[in-house]
Amino acid sequence: MEYQERTIQRVFSIRFASGDHIIENLEKLIKEKNIRAGTVILLGAFSKGNLVLGFRRFSRAPKDLNRTSFNDTQEVVGVGNISWMNDKPKVHLQAGVGKEREVFIAHIEEADVIGAEAVILEFSGPEFTGSVLV
């Protein structure tokens, strides 16, 4: 286990426009504002997206991921972390994505926004490098 004691520095409140790509826009803002470490809290709705549901059952291949996508309106609530890889920001966003009574808990590879808001809490100290899935 690795841990660091940190304090909250800046807080960013974000409202996304319909059609925005959630991960692309978050990473663009993180790079622009040079947010080296932090967490993302998200709620809203997506019109389409690509999800990673976890690792394929019984697979022996490393990082053999079970993926799915959707092309209809889905509600979302999520939380993620900010890390840096190869001098680029990376958002690892886990979310509950669902419609009616079908809900997926997944890693968001990318998704198009219908309407969404997020908060980024920037932490003091150096960034974590790498990420669990990406």
pLDDT of residue 58: 66
**Radius of gyration for the alpha carbons in the chain, expressed in angstroms and rounded:** 15
| pLDDT tens digits for range 68-91 | 899 999 999 999 999 999 999 999
Give yes or no for a contact between 78 and 69, defined as CB atoms under 8 angstroms apart: no
pTM here is 0.87
Q: Which amino acid is at 112?
A: D
Is residue 119 assigned to a domain? yes
Residue 2 has pLDDT above 90, yes or no: no
Give yes or no for a contact between 42 and 98, defined as CB atoms under 8 angstroms apart: no
CATH code for the domain of 48: 3.30.1330.80
Give the residue numbers spanning the domain of 116: 8-56+63-123
Is residue 36 assigned to a domain? yes
Q: How confident is the model at residue 133 (pLDDT cuts 50, 70, 90)?
A: very low
Q: How far is it between the farthest Cα atoms of the chain? A: 43
| pLDDT tens digits for range 108-131 | 999 999 999 999 999 998 776 655
Is residue 134 assigned to a domain? no
Is residue 30 assigned to a domain? yes
The count of structural domains within the chain is 1
Residue from 65, 64, 40 nearest 52 by CA: 65
Is residue 26 assigned to a domain? yes
